[in-house]
Amino acid sequence: MAREPDWIDVGAGEELSKHSCRPVKLKSNPIALTFKDGKFGAVSHACNHVGGPLGEGHLDGDYIICPWHNWKFHRVTGKGEPGYEEDCVPSFPVKVEKGRVLVDVANPTKRNKLPHEPHPLARKPERAPGPLRLAGISTTAMDAAHPRFSGSDHLLGHALKAAQKKGAETRLITLNTLKFRTCEGYFSKSLRACTWPCSITQMDPKDEMDQVYEALVHWADAVIVATPIRWGAASALYFKMVERLNCVQVDVASKEDQLIRNKVAGFIIVGGQDNIQGVAGSMLAFFAELGFFFPQFPYVAHSRGWSHEDMENNVRIVRESKALAQGAEALAERCLDLAGRLIKAHIQMVPVAERGGMKGRPIMADLMDRD
């Protein structure tokens, strides 16, 4: 039943018609006001997906595109795009009198959220029964048609073989073979705009970052990340992956929902020049923020140092070094041993850190707050 109209003067039609889409605050009703083909439209400012600001979006024909994740709603009726018409946001009556634009805030249509099929990655992380599982991630970039020797990949291979001998399942992820987009800064739009699963992964079925997410969040008990040193830092592919992993850490900050639990990370770092500890420190800091644990001596590394530009010798040393191979094998064993202990403690209900809490708050304080 319609209510008594409550017409709010938005402003002069001549001025408002200069903007195809803009946000407007009317009492307690923020709306997205649009203008196209001589007609104004008004719908709710909040997108049905995760509340993105529709008024800050742009028009595609008669549809407003949400600036956060590209969901579409008809600018006049509020209905979703074709195929999702029942997924609609409230729309408001609009009229123009004496050059003034008026919106009736008392009689919006109803919001209706049409359930969308959840992304496979959105399932609750639960460890499946079975042997320990180790994922190896290669971050070396090279021409696949003309491959070269990679010291970090070589040692990662030793680590995975050692894990297999211990009865663990292994999975190798080679970033160089995956086609995945770089992070597009959804976190820069809003904390809530950076979603789990990643916004890009949800919108682009061809994006292959899902293989990394599946391994780290759902499959692996331990992960070893191998990287070359590039100008004193980890590889470009490593950082491309890390930027996309921000959505895993953001889930802690936005929902206090820790996706990574009782998992272990180790690292293999190989370079022609030095800065091993700087690279390791950066990797340890990031994976700690995701929620990973580390074994004693969590990385194996090799470098000839700044003054050695003889990469041929560096390659020979890594290829022939029994000490480095054994070190990588021992790293895999340490990672799996700690992972096994964490899983056992969890099964036996021995207290293990569940989540990291807010920045600056110690874990124990969070645990005591719940008592």
Stretch 295-314: mean pLDDT, rounded? Answer: 84
Q: Which of 198, 183, 201, 199 is nearest to 67 (CA)?
A: 199
Contacts of 105 (CB under 8 A, 6+ apart): 6, 8, 26, 27, 29, 92
Q: Where are the domains of the chain?
A: 7-104, 130-369
**Would you say the CATH fold of 130-369 matches that of 7-104?**
no
Confidence at residue 315, expressed as pLDDT on a 0 to 100 scale:
84
Q: What is the CATH number of domain 130-369?
A: 3.40.50.360
Instruction: State the amino acid at position 85 in one-letter form.
Output: E
User: Which residue bears the tokens 């609750």?
Assistant: 124
Question: Between β-strands 21-26 and 29-36, what pairing exists: parallel, antiparallel or unpaired?
Answer: antiparallel
66-76 per-position pLDDT tens digit: 998 889 999 99
Considering the chain, what is the average pLDDT of its residues?
89
68-100 per-position pLDDT tens digit: 888 999 999 999 999 889 999 999 999 999 999
Confidence at residue 161, expressed as pLDDT on a 0 to 100 scale:
98
Instruction: State CA 186 to chain mean position distance.
Output: 10
Confidence at residue 323, expressed as pLDDT on a 0 to 100 scale:
95
214-231 per-position pLDDT tens digit: 999 999 999 999 999 998
Whether residue 134 contacts residue 162, with contact meaning beta carbons closer than 8 Å, is answered with: no
Examine the pLDDT at 19 and tell me if it is beyond 70: yes
Whether residue 202 contacts residue 69, with contact meaning beta carbons closer than 8 Å, is answered with: yes
Stretch 290-305: mean pLDDT, rounded? Answer: 92
Confidence at residue 340, expressed as pLDDT on a 0 to 100 scale:
96
Whole-number percent of the chain with pLDDT over 90: 68
40-52 per-position pLDDT tens digit: 999 999 999 888 9
Task: Residues 7-104: name the CATH superfamily.
Answer: Rieske [2Fe-2S] iron-sulphur domain (2.102.10.10)
Q: Which residue has the higher pLDDT, 136 or 114?
A: 136
225-261 per-position pLDDT tens digit: 999 999 899 999 999 999 999 999 887 766 667 899 8
Confidence at residue 359, expressed as pLDDT on a 0 to 100 scale:
47
Examine the pLDDT at 213 and tell me if it is beyond 50: yes
Contacts of 92 (CB under 8 A, 6+ apart): 29, 31, 42, 43, 103, 104, 105, 107, 108
158-180 per-position pLDDT tens digit: 999 999 999 999 999 999 999 99
Confidence at residue 362, expressed as pLDDT on a 0 to 100 scale:
46
DSSP string, 128-152: PSSS-EEEEEE-----TTS----HH
